[in-house]
Amino acid sequence: MGMIKGKKEYKKFLDGETLTARQAILANCFQCNGLQDSREDCKGYHCPLYDHSPYGSVERGLEKL
């Protein structure tokens, strides 16, 4: 099993390294999910980064808002 997306980027953040925008999104998603090894959609429809999350849905309907 490979490393979960965001874990390595979150470690880089904690080490004080500069992250790209994509790395910061991955690190935030990992942190927001409670540092859990989850490969599922977080269903965080109200998160401004949801559309960019590694496991988020591509479509976002108004019924979710």
The pLDDT assigned to 63 comes to 45
Q: What b/e readout covers 5-24, taking b as 16+ CB neighbours within 10 angstroms?
A: bbbebbeebeeeeeeeeebb
> Could you tell me the residue ranges of all domains in the chain?
7-64
Q: Model confidence over 3-56: pLDDT tens digits?
A: 567 889 999 999 999 999 999 988 988 888 777 766 677 777 788 888 877 766
Tell the residue number behind the tokens 């019924």, with chain if given: 63
Of 6 and 64, which is predicted with more confidence?
6
pTM: 0.69
- In whole angstroms, what is the distance from residue 28 CA to residue 62 CA? 24
